[in-house]
């Protein structure tokens, strides 16, 4: 709340269209704590009456009482960290909830009027067969979930899982399995009328994440809390990660962040990376207008090999990934970066 006050001018005159409680486990907040934060935001920022308020929640934190409190606090969208509907996957991922709790959390949320739901699913784990991955997708569709975020397993350096893999106590992720299951995912959800509007995100028409869509389109945003990142169009800043250092600085009325002013090269390459991940693709006209005609021509030229190989296509002056190209999105984007 102190940081909210100190950062009240960061977004200038912008109206706030989305608020996202995440990046940790905000479902652990007591109802009064969540309400206090929401009240502080409303006092310091001009928030749209129809703003999207998302809260990330673990299935085992979701109860009738908490759902009522969240709704009364203004939360109108829940992001539930399901990961899988199968016990063996959840045990392997060391998740605290069970498959039954995942199903119950969805049902309880819908019963309390949360129709704008998204769930996370993980594919490519050693325990997940293609058959069970298909069942995971089917269960989400049959439950009427309007938005899914689906991610391939990644092993982060320095984590317990990374150590286990290096010691051969745990199998490494299989890239071929991940590619196959990603293709399964795209095919099934397209059949059900979901838009594959970003590499990892699928939504029924009208149910895209407004918060994430704003990020991918380069809108300004303010991050609050330890490790939170902010962006104002020309610079990026990030708060100190340690809770104690963060709190100590704020007690002195100081903002505990580091800052980086973005060069034109960084801004165009970030646009390339984020825009290619979306269904709309990379707008050559936008590049030409904001970064110069030479940059637009270079992108058209460097993208030809990917169009020839069937991984990109060009439509309405936009570069867009094909389904095959989505398997190589980050590599293609990096190769198109402007030097």
pLDDT at res. 90 = 93
**Which DSSP string do the residues of 52-100 spell out, in sequence order?**
EEEEEE-GGG--HHHHHHHHHHT--EEEEEEE-SSHHHHHHTT-SS-HH
Provide the pLDDT for residue 158. Answer: 81
More confident residue, 169 or 175: 175
Where are the domains positioned within the chain?
A: 2-216, 229-261, 277-336
73-90 confidence digits (pLDDT tens): 999 999 999 999 999 999
In the three-class reduction of DSSP (H, G, I as helix; E, B as strand; rest coil), residue 314 is classed as strand
pLDDT band, very low/low/confident/very high, at 164 (cuts 50, 70, 90):
confident
DSSP 121: E
**79 close to 120: Cβ distance less than 8 angstroms:** yes
Give the pLDDT mean for 48-66. Answer: 96
CA distances from 119 to 11, 52, 203, 317 (A): 29, 16, 11, 34
- Determine the pLDDT at residue 293: 95
Question: pLDDT tens digits, residue range 235-248?
Answer: 999 999 999 999 99
**Class of 2-216 in CATH:** alpha beta
- State yes or no: pLDDT of 167 exceeds 90: no
pLDDT of amino acid 166: 82
pTM higher than 0.85: yes
Indicate the helix (H) or strand (E) that contains 258.
Answer: strand 257-261
Four-residue CA torsion sign, 138, 140, 146, 152: negative
191 pLDDT more than 90: yes
pLDDT at residue 23 greater than cutoff 90: no
How far is it, in rounded angstroms, from Cα 192 to Cα 204? 9
**Which of the residue ranges 72-81, 159-168, 276-285 would you say has the lowest mean pLDDT?**
159-168
Distance CA 103, CA 185 (A): 20
Lowest-pLDDT range, 64-78, 171-185, 270-284? 171-185
- Bridging pattern class, strands 195-198 and 147-152: unpaired
Please answer whether residues 231 and 221 qualify as being in contact, where contact means their C-beta atoms are separated by less than 8 angstroms: yes
Dihedrals φ, ψ of 11, to 5°? -90, 5
Give whole-number Cα distances, 64 to 104, 106, 109, 114, in Å. 11, 12, 8, 12
Instruction: Round the average pLDDT of the chain to a whole number and report it.
Output: 94
Looking at the chain, the whole-number percentage of residues with pLDDT higher than 70 is 100
């Amino acid at each position: 709340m102190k940081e909210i006050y100190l950062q009240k001018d960061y977004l200038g005159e912008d109206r706030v269209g989305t608020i996202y409680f995440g990046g940790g486990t905000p479902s652990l907040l007591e109802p009064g704590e969540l309400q206090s934060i929401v009240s502080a935001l409303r006092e310091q920022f001009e928030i749209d009456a129809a703003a999207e308020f998302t809260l990330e929640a673990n299935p085992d934190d979701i109860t009738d009482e908490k759902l009522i409190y969240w709704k009364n606090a203004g939360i109108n969208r829940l992001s539930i960290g399901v990961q899988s509907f199968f016990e063996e996957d959840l045990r392997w991922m060391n998740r605290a909830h069970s498959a039954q709790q995942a199903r119950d959390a969805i049902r309880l949320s819908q019963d309390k009027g949360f129709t704008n739901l998204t769930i996370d699913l993980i594919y490519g784990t050693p325990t997940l067969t293609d058959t069970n991955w298909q069942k995971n997708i089917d269960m989400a569709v049959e439950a009427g979930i309007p938005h899914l975020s689906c991610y391939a397993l990644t092993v982060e350096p320095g984590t317990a899982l990374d150590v286990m893999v290096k010691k051969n106590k745990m199998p490494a992720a299989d890239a071929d399995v991940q590619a196959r299951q990603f293709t399964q995912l795209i095919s099934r959800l397209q059949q059900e009328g979901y838009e594959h509007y970003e590499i990892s995100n699928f939504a029924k028409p009208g149910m895209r994440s407004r918060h994430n869509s704003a990020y991918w389109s380069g809108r300004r945003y303010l991050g609050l809390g330890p490790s939170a990142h902010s962006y104002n169009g020309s610079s990026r800043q990030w708060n100190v990660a340690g809770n104690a250092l963060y709190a100590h600085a704020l007690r002195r009325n100081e903002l505990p962040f580091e800052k980086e002013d973005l060069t034109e090269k960084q801004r165009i390459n970030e646009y390339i990376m984020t825009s290619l991940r979306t269904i709309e693709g990379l707008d050559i006209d936008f590049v030409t207008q904001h970064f110069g005609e030479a940059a637009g021509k270079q992108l058209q030229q460097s993208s030809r090999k990917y169009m020839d190989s069937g991984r990109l296509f060009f439509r309405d002056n936009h570069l867009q990934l094909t389904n095959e190209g989505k398997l190589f999105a980050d590599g293609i984007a990096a190769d198109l970066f402007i030097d």
